[in-house]
């Protein structure tokens, strides 16, 4: 199963196309831009509490049969936070000093 490649930052709603080098995801595919991860979230996913990694870029060219962005389409469903900005800030502040591998 391929990653969804969500089209936007869940915090600021910035567009994150499939080839975005500044897209970050957690292990649940929550998607944020690098700027929000670094300046607003302190590398804490506001949904699950995990850390972030750069989102892989799916090839546009079909190097192998059926494996490319035209055969496995990125998601077009925009996702937004379920929590208030204040709640996110408190959550991130509470666990930002715990390394992601220990959360």
**C-beta atoms surrounding 72 within 10 Å:** 14
Is residue 9 domain-resident? no
Domain count, the chain: 1
Residue 25 three-state SS: strand
pTM over 0.85: yes
Is residue 7 domain-resident? no
**Which pLDDT score, from 0 to 100, does residue 71 have?**
93
Q: Which residue range(s) make up the domain with 27?
A: 23-95
Residue 101 three-state SS: helix
CA–CA distance from 87 to each of 15, 21, 74, 82, 94 (Å)? 23, 28, 30, 10, 11
**Which pLDDT score, from 0 to 100, does residue 81 have?**
96
Distance CA 94, CA 91 (A): 5
Is residue 70 domain-resident? yes
Is residue 6 domain-resident? no
Q: Are 32 and 52 in contact (CB under 8 A)?
A: yes
Distance CA 13, CA 22 (A): 13
Q: Provide block-wise average pLDDT over 10 residues at a time, the chain (103 residues).
A: 93 97 98 98 98 96 94 95 97 97 95
Distance CA 26, CA 43 (A): 9
Q: Are 13 and 78 in contact (CB under 8 A)?
A: yes
């Amino acid at each position: 199963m391929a990653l969804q490649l969500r089209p936007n930052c869940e915090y600021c709603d910035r567009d994150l196309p499939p080839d975005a080098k500044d897209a970050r995801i957690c292990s649940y595919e929550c998607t944020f831009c690098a700027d929000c991860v670094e300046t607003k979230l302190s590398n804490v996913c506001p949904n699950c509490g995990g850390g972030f990694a750069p989102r892989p870029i799916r090839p546009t060219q079909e190097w192998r049969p059926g494996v490319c962005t035209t055969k496995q389409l990125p998601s077009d469903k925009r996702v937004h936070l379920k929590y208030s900005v204040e709640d996110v800030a408190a959550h991130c502040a509470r666990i930002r000093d715990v390394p992601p591998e220990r959360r």
